[in-house]
Amino acid sequence: MTALSERPLIPVNRAGQFTALVAVSRPAVRGALVRRLHSLGAREIFETTSLAGARSQSLTIDPGDLVIADSTLIDGSGVALVTELRRAGWQRGVVLGPSDDASSVRTALAAGIHGYVVTHPERIQARPLSGNVTIITPQTSDPIGPDGLSDREIEVLHLVAEGQGNRDVAQALGLSALTVKSHLARIARKLGTGDRAEMVVLALRAGLIT
């Protein structure tokens, strides 16, 4: 990971007045996150590389504003850690994971995590979704995000969410299979992922489909 979006990772109470706990095993990723949080004006940042370290630090400090953790730490689940610290009073949680693992996104969001950060590609970009949820995905040419989807693209996504294949979608909408494929390609560019399951997750979280 070499760059973060210019937009905040997650909304905080007041600019320059927040505390963060970063539980990330990879030095380069952890360093980039810490630098970015400092640039956003973090008052205090606590660093650790493990589940045990994060738990130990959390016992010595008051619950803060933001906890960021790898989805898989060397000694346990980062999703479980963030969920645990949220219950202990930490206001917001973000999980870091691989870009091609849609199930991890679903698991994290279902656990009440406020954001999922893709760290596999070298460049990432943050896109706010509904509420406090933020998905940070690989930066492509110019991701537009869920709000930039056309009505037709949303119709296509709705049918994809029902498990229909390209031919079924084409028949339902009176389109050719090639046109449906083109729509899906544009949706992939806008959402930053070509994985159908992840497209659906993002659209559901954005309230575009139900």
**Where exactly are the structural domains of the chain?**
19-138, 146-205
The answer to whether 121 and 138 have CB atoms below 8 angstroms apart is yes
Q: What rounded mean pLDDT belongs to the chain?
A: 74
Q: In what order do the strands lie in the sheet with 134-138?
A: 44-48, 19-23, 66-70, 92-97, 115-118, 134-138, 124-128
- Classify domain 146-205 at the CATH topology level: Arc Repressor Mutant, subunit A (1.10.10)
- Taking only the tens place, the pLDDT of each residue in 26-57 is 887 888 888 888 887 888 999 999 999 999 99
What is the pLDDT, as a whole number, of residue 154? 87
> What is the CATH code for 19-138?
3.40.50.2300
- Taking only the tens place, the pLDDT of each residue in 170-200 is 999 998 988 999 889 888 888 878 888 778 8
Question: Looking at residues 121-136, what average pLDDT do you find?
Answer: 41
Could you count the other beta carbons within 10 Å of the beta carbon of residue 3? 12
**Global pTM value:** 0.52
